Amino acid sequence: MLAVHQRHWQSRTAKVLAAGAVLAALAVPAAGQAAARPALMPMAYGRYSFELPRFWPVINLSARPRTCVRFDRQAVYIGTPSPDQSCPARLIGTTQALLIRRGPARSARTATENPVARQITVTAPGISITATYGADPGQIDQILRSASLPEPSVQTPAQVAAGHLSRVRVARLPRRVTNYHGLGFDSCAAPSAAYMSAWRRWSPYRAVGIYIGGSDRACAQPNLTATWLRSEAAAGWRFFPLYVGPQAEFGELKSPAAQGAAAATDAVAQARLLGFRRRTPLYYDMEAYAPRQSPAVLAFLSAWTLTVHHLGFDSGVYSSSLSGIQDLAQQYFTGAYAIPDVIYDALWNNLPNTVDSVFAPGEWTGHRRLHQFNGNVVQTFGGDKIDVDQDYLNVRLGGGPVGAPVRVNTAQASPSVRGRGGVVNVFYRGPGRQLWQVRYQPGAGWEQPADLGGSVRSAPAAVAAGGGRLDVFYQGTDGGLWQAAYQPRLGWRQVRLRRMGAIGGAPAALAESSGVIDVFWSGAAGSGLRHGRFTPRGGWTGPQALGGSLASAPSPVEPLPGRLEVYWQGTDRNLWQVTSDGGASWSGPARLRMGSLGGAPQATAGPGGAVDVVWRGAGNTHLYLASASPAGRWGRPHNLGGAVTLAPFPVAPAAGVVRVFWRGRDGRLWAVVHGPGSGWLAPAPLPRVRLGSAPFVTIGDSASKTDVFWRGSGGTLWATSLGSGGRWAGPLRLGR
């Protein structure tokens, strides 16, 4: 990637020298000097007369038709750019430059500035101007004033797009026009239709990278229109749209998060003007940068991804293997930043594949990689020559979340989860406050307990989000929310989710059917119910304050895909609930009139969408249960009898089946079962089982087996299981 670094430093140096020259050209002369006029020169165009810096070249495009209109050099271009410009492949950066063309004889006098794209457009009778600038539009404003042209008014990208789309109906491109597996190329300017036809016939390429916008887009784009895109798509071409905005190596990241969001907003506006549909991946071009810039770049790219997602598009990032790609890869599983859906890796190794040693297992798998394997290559096909960078694509995005995990039903909080194939993972706090794991493998039995480290204060909550990934959440001894994440072939990684702040007790987590992970907890110092949310495409958001006044840990469930419900005992001893149909917007806390509770409620959701909540009675030790239909209609609470100590644990493994387990007053494990058509059976104890803690149950795919765990009187972890035929196996001592 040395060539990329060299290009950056050359461009940056050129910009600094040019800026100095501009100041010199426009400086007020000292006393005794002739005047500032000698530093300027007049230029006439039709009825307009401009005053330009004397050192700026004025290039007549009709005399030099294949000249590349470059906005990275201070110059004035007169005429219409050729559809077959001869541009270097890897230009980047903008400075003060003007492209002046003939306009309609009858035209309104308008001037607008897009400060995000650093571009000014002017129309007046007989003239049309596109101008770019570096950090300050002042010099362009002065040149326009010299020709008595209007002062530009600032418009946001969204305003520009909305105004254009209100006047012109843009036909949408075919779906998945950005999916492709094979060779592609990118060039500074979109080629002409004739060149695209020749290259389609004679070249090995079938995908083309196009620069749809950005403040550092250096080449004019006379061919890049919605009509051109529809025509080339119909001819069989596929696209990867690039946006090249502020660059770290140019020192342009002053407010990274705000700039990233602004760039994303402008990119989506430009994509819509060109006819790209929602869920199109838009690739931010962040060229190579020094290691000291990494924090600013990560903040910028995280904001880019979050905003692109918010506006309905997918996020891609292009960068050097040893800077942007490496930085993003190191953050892939941490949850600290939003990670792009697709990665575009600049590694000039001449290998047309998507392999790079900076990628850890599981990163951007499932057709979510591009590789720029060579650059600045001049190639000729069908007699038409273009300076290109060479790419290899493996991109196939569908309509759902990119890389969405296969559903594993962990839509209820528990320290134990069952994944595909019957594998069970159990997590608990060990004697030294470390996080411990015990694993069951069908055919091999229970493994020896493993110490995962950490410093654990609360009971853990585990979810299986698909693809073999496990996530465990707990309150650390520092009072923060911690996440232990396991990825196949990568192992365990623990991190404090610092953005969530201090938490007031044990967290409860579930994995939605979409692969989204939700974590709930009681806020510190009685601040109500809090919610943190992880999306596969967006990373962590939160904490979100959901209100309420909690006297117990929360108990969340997902009764139907996308519908979340959370229950708790309020400080008034009543049962309370909040609900959401999308995870972002929540109802206010609602009190369910079930009478006083004697302890923390626990909820479970059946496969059909019904919800059951159980708790210990107030003033007695009986087990109580209340049920809601899938439509949300609650019945009256049922007294199921028994003698309950500590919190009961319900599970609904199959339609119409509910099982509830608890520690009885006699210290034994008790259970009560509801079967389809049989109603509630009488509570019954399990012989030879003595509990030193409240029991918990494995949550997961299997409806044929229920695994129950508890701590013995000496703190040892024990297990027993109930098969589909009603037969119990165990108890079995699992470990310390």
For 367-400, how does the pLDDT look when each residue is reduced to its tens digit (9 = 90+)? Answer: 899 999 999 999 999 999 999 999 999 998 853 3
Number of structural domains found in the chain: 3
Specify which of 229-238, 506-515, 722-731 reaches the highest per-range mean pLDDT: 229-238
The DSSP H or E segment spanning 139 is: helix 138-146
Upper half-sphere CA count for residue 54 (Cβ side, 13 Å): 10
What pLDDT, on a 0 to 100 scale, did the predictor assign at position 17?
A: 29
Question: Lowest mean pLDDT: which of 3-7, 127-131, 424-428?
Answer: 3-7
Answer with the one of 101, 136, 162 that is the final residue of a domain: 162
- The three-point CA angle 161-166-170 to 5° equals 75
Q: Is residue 409 a part of any domain in this protein? A: no
Going by their DSSP bridges, the two strands 416-418 and 207-213 should be labelled as: unpaired
Q: Facing residues of 681 across strands?
A: none
Closest-CA residue to 147 (of 165, 124, 118)? 124
What pLDDT, on a 0 to 100 scale, did the predictor assign at position 36?
A: 43
pLDDT digits (tens, 9 = 90+) for 585-620: 799 999 999 999 999 999 998 777 789 999 999 988
pLDDT digits (tens, 9 = 90+) for 46-62: 999 999 999 999 999 99
CA distance 392 to 351: 9
Question: Lowest mean pLDDT: which of 66-70, 341-345, 506-510, 655-659?
Answer: 655-659
Q: Would you give the DSSP letter of residue 540?
A: E
CATH of the domain at 311: 3.20.20.80
Q: Which residue has the higher pLDDT, 449 or 571?
A: 571
pLDDT digits (tens, 9 = 90+) for 630-671: 878 898 999 998 899 989 999 887 777 889 999 999 888 998
Same structural domain, 201 and 246: yes
Beta-carbon contacts of residue 481 (< 8 Å; ≥ 6 apart): 473, 474, 475, 496, 497, 500, 501, 503, 507, 519, 521, 532
Q: Is residue 578 a part of any domain in this protein? A: yes
Q: Is residue 400 a part of any domain in this protein? A: no
Asked if pLDDT for residue 695 goes beyond 70, the answer is: yes
Q: Is residue 656 a part of any domain in this protein? A: yes
Q: Is residue 668 a part of any domain in this protein? A: yes
Same structural domain, 185 and 300: yes
| Domain membership of residue 550 as a residue range | 416-735
Same structural domain, 707 and 561: yes
Average pLDDT over residues 202-218: 97
Phi then psi for residue 361, to 5 deg, are: -55, 135
Average pLDDT over residues 427-453: 85
pLDDT digits (tens, 9 = 90+) for 541-563: 989 999 999 999 999 998 877 78
Q: Is residue 365 a part of any domain in this protein? A: yes
CATH of the domain at 525: 2.120.10.70
CB atoms within 10 A of CB 505: 18
Same structural domain, 148 and 230: no
pTM for this prediction: 0.56
Upper half-sphere CA count for residue 376 (Cβ side, 13 Å): 10
Answer with the one of 120, 135, 162 that is the final residue of a domain: 162
Same structural domain, 192 and 107: no
Same structural domain, 452 and 384: no
Same structural domain, 565 and 441: yes
Q: What is the DSSP string of 226-285?
A: HHHHHHHHHTT-EEEEEE----TTTT--SSHHHHHHHHHHHHHHHHHHTTPPTT-EEEEE
Same structural domain, 530 and 608: yes
Q: Is residue 408 a part of any domain in this protein? A: no
Same structural domain, 498 and 368: no
Q: Facing residues of 62 across strands?
A: none
Same structural domain, 126 and 149: yes
Same structural domain, 349 and 427: no
Answer with the one of 127, 145, 162 that is the final residue of a domain: 162
Q: Put the strands of the sheet holding 58-60 in their side by side order.
A: 58-60, 76-78, 97-101, 127-132, 119-124, 110-114, 153-154
Average pLDDT over residues 270-276: 94
> Which is it for the CA torsion 63, 65, 68, 70, positive or negative?
positive
Q: Would you give the DSSP letter of residue 694?
A: -
Q: Is residue 405 a part of any domain in this protein? A: no
Local confidence band at 22 (pLDDT 50, 70, 90 cut-offs): very low
Same structural domain, 130 and 220: no
Asked if pLDDT for residue 37 goes beyond 50, the answer is: no
Look up residue 14 and give its amino acid: A
Closest-CA residue to 594 (of 625, 622, 555, 564)? 625
CA distance 274 to 276: 6
- Is residue 731 within 8 Å of 720, Cβ to Cβ? yes
